[in-house]
Amino acid sequence: MDESPHVPVLLESVVELLAVRPGGLYVDGTLGWGGHASAVLAAGGRLVGTDRDPDALAAARARLGPDVELHHARFSALPALLGGRRADGILLDLGVSSPQLDRPERGFSFRAVGPLDMRMDPTVGEPVWAWLDHVGADELADVLWRYGDERASRRIARTIVARRAEPEVEPLRTTRQLAELVASVVPADGRIHPATRTFQALRIHVNDELGELERALAALPECLAPGGRLVVISFHSLEDRAVKLRFRELAGEGGERDLFGRAVHTPGFRLVERKARKGDDDANPRARSARVRALERIA
Ligand SMILES: C[S@@+](CC[C@H](N)C(=O)[O-])C[C@H]1O[C@@H](n2cnc3c(N)ncnc32)[C@H](O)[C@@H]1O
């Protein structure tokens, strides 16, 4: 029984797709509370891990022990941290962890009152409230639309920006204030809280989550040893699309073909499975939107 406050999603699939072999070098770019990482260690792998959240890193350190190589870093820094070492497997389990969502002081959740922060790494960058103090309405609406599929993006953005000009109204500083503001302009549809999409979009934006993923997808495949696998779990359709397209490109799909339909350039990678595995059957509710894909280096 996993006692950690974060239940790792698709755990069996991840262990199977990574094909952990004793003594191999495995990288967990998103340690979180160390659930996947401890399964890798239990299967005999050696581990290098990163997390950008100092709280997660401390929790992973406590769980995994002092001898594992852990770094407080973004996973886009992994090529530099590995310094030429080739990995037999790399895992990215994107998005936020349950403890990040559940701790009001981190400001990720509209369900509790907390500072409107949402940074995974609170030691760098701008919290959401600071960005909302100066962003223009058009840019804000674009973020809400692109990362949240929020149909009321323009209305929400205009309301937030207009509020800044009202001298009597206190500035937006807490999760509760933002949740109430959004609920006042977005009609409730009875399924999800009206602020769900806004919170998701702002989190993706302040943490540059898609930029991080893009940099990782560009550089991490080259960090694999022959036979090594890159396994990515995503929770957002934009993330899964980026993973799918990059993996297909590296596996030579859609590339130049000769008269017999054979790839003109021999690809250096292959898709471990054509379709993403889904987290639907997982006991963890977070897993319902999860998709996992794996790529293997051939040469
Ligand atoms: C879904 S949780 C990972 C849970 C973990 N697999 C487990 O089993 O406990 C995602 C973690 O990745 C971290 N994270 C997200 N983006 C990151 C990035 N670009 N670089 C490093 N860590 C990141 C978050 O801080 C969070 O702790």
Please name the amino acid found at residue 170: E
CA-nearest residue for atom 24, ligand 1, is 96
The whole-angstrom separation of Cα 51 and Cα 57 is 6
Please choose, from the candidates 221, 216, 220, 255, the residue with its C-alpha nearest in 3D space to the C-alpha of residue 239: 216
Contact 179, 195 (CB under 8 A): yes
pTM: 0.95
pLDDT exceeds cutoff 60 at 1: no
Q: What is the mean pLDDT of the chain?
A: 94
User: Could you tell me which residues come within 8 angstroms of residue 213 by beta carbon, excluding any fewer than 6 positions away?
Assistant: 92, 94, 234, 239, 242, 243
pLDDT exceeds cutoff 60 at 2: no
Percent of the chain with pLDDT over 90: 86
Contact 162, 132 (CB under 8 A): no
- Check residue 216 and give left, alpha or beta (phi > 0: left; psi -120 to 50: alpha): alpha
pLDDT exceeds cutoff 50 at 125: yes
Could you tell which of 17, 33, 97, 282 is best to mutate to test the pocket of ligand 1, judged by most ligand atoms within 8 Å of the CB? 97
CA of 163 to the centre of ligand 1 (A): 34
- 122-206: CATH topology is DNA polymerase; domain 1 (1.10.150)
CA of 154 to the centre of ligand 1 (A): 31
Domain ranges across the chain: 11-99+210-297, 122-206
The whole-angstrom separation of Cα 176 and Cα 180 is 6
pLDDT in tens, 126-159: 999 999 999 999 999 999 999 999 999 999 999 9
Average of per-residue pLDDT across 111-126: 97
The whole-angstrom separation of Cα 284 and Cα 33 is 15
Q: How far is CA 111 from CA 46, 126, 174, 183, 262, in A?
A: 39, 22, 11, 13, 54
pLDDT of residue 260: 85
pLDDT of residue 119: 98
Q: Is 56 close to ligand 1, i.e. is its CB under 6 Å away?
A: yes
pLDDT exceeds cutoff 80 at 120: yes
User: Could you tell me which residues come within 8 angstroms of residue 257 by beta carbon, excluding any fewer than 6 positions away?
Assistant: 263, 264
pLDDT in tens, 258-271: 888 877 777 899 99
User: In CATH terms, are 11-99+210-297 and 122-206 the same topology?
Assistant: no
- 11-99+210-297: CATH topology is Rossmann fold (3.40.50)
Nearest ligand 1 atom to the CA of 11 is 8
pLDDT of residue 35: 96
pLDDT in tens, 81-93: 999 999 999 999 9
